[in-house]
């Protein structure tokens, strides 16, 4: 009986799972990029980054 279980596991194809994992990872990355873009476009963050860049270039 143990041989039947092992044989069933060997026949199981996991190729579709890898594609689904990549799709979920890409969706998470796109969502994170959207949130990051929204934060960077806000006025306070934009002025802070501008002042940091100006002070770095003035040295």
| pLDDT, tens digit (0-9, with 9 covering 90-100), for 33-59 | 999 999 888 888 889 989 999 999 997
Kindly tell me if the per-residue pLDDT of 8 is higher than 60: no
pTM for this entry: 0.53
Domain ranges of the chain: 2-57
- Beta carbons of 57 and 51 less than 8 angstroms apart: no
Q: Name, in order, each residue with C-beta under 8 angstroms of 45's C-beta and a sequence gap of 6 or more.
A: 39
CA angle 34/23/7 to nearest 5° reads 155
pLDDT for res 2:
55
* Residue whose structure tokens are 């596991």: 9
């Amino acid at each position: 009986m143990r041989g039947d279980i092992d044989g069933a596991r060997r026949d199981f194809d996991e190729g579709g799972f890898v594609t689904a994992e990549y799709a979920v990872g890409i969706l998470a990355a796109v969502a994170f990029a959207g949130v990051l873009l929204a934060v960077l476009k806000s006025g306070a963050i934009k002025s802070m980054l501008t002042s940091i860049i100006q002070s770095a270039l003035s040295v």
